[in-house]
Copies of this chain bind each other. A is one copy, B any other.
Amino acid sequence: MPLASKPVGRRERNKQLKRERIMAAASELFAERGVDEVTTQEIADKADIGAGTLFLYAKTKGELLLLVQNSLYAEALVQGKQAAEGITDPLDAVMAIVRPVVECNRKQVDNGRTYLREIVFGDPAEPHHREALGLTIQTEEAIVAVLLRDDRTAPDAATLAHIVSAIMFVAMAPTINSANPVDDVVQEIRAQVRVILPV
C-alpha cells in the first residue's frame, strides 16, 4: 500500500461516492423528463439512498437542479469566450458569448427556465447557488473584456455588461417566450444589445 498522504477514510470516500451517484441520478432524470416531472423520491431511489439522505447533499430540489445545470453552463461559457476572441466587432463578439449560453439554457426549456428562476429567487447562501452566481458574474466579465477593447464602450463596460445580463434573463425566462426557438431568442437579445452599444 502506497503512503497514505491524506487521511481519507471510508467515511469520506462513501460520501464522495454518494455525491457522484446523486449527481448522476439527478442529471439523467432531469434530462430525460424535466425537473417538474421527477420526484425527489425517484432521484433518491436511482441513487440508491434514502429519501432523507438526499437533502443532506442538497438542501432543496432546486439546489439539485443548480448542481446539474451549473456544469452545462460552465461549458457554454468557455465555448463563448473562445468564440468571442476571434471577433472584432463588439456586437458580434458579445453575441458570440451570449449564443452558447442561450443554446445550453434551451437544451431542455423547462430545466433552463427553472434554473434561471432558482438563480434569481433561490437562497444565495447555498453552495450550488453561489457557484451559479459566480458563473453569471464570469459571463458579465467576459462581456466586459470584449467591451474594453472599444474606447467608446469602455467607461461603462461593467454597467453595460450587467444590462446585457438583464436582457438575456428577460428574453429566456418568461413563460411567454418559452416556445421561442434559440435563434429567435438570440435575435431578440441582439436587437436590444445593438441599441445600447454606442454607434
Contacts and interface: CB of A to CB of B under 8 A. Distances in A.
Interface of A: 113, 117, 120-124, 133, 156, 159-160, 162-163, 165-167, 169-170, 173-176, 191-192, 195-196
Contacts of A175: 120-124
Contacts of A113: 121
6 contacts: A121-B174, A121-B175, A160-B195, A163-B166, A195-B196, A196-B196
A157 to B, nearest CB: 10
Contacts of A162: 170, 192
A150 to B, nearest CB: 14
Contacts of A176: 124, 133
A170 B159 contact: no
A175 B120 CA distance: 6
Contact of A159 (B122, B173, B192): B192
A89 B122 CA distance: 38
Nearest to A173: B120
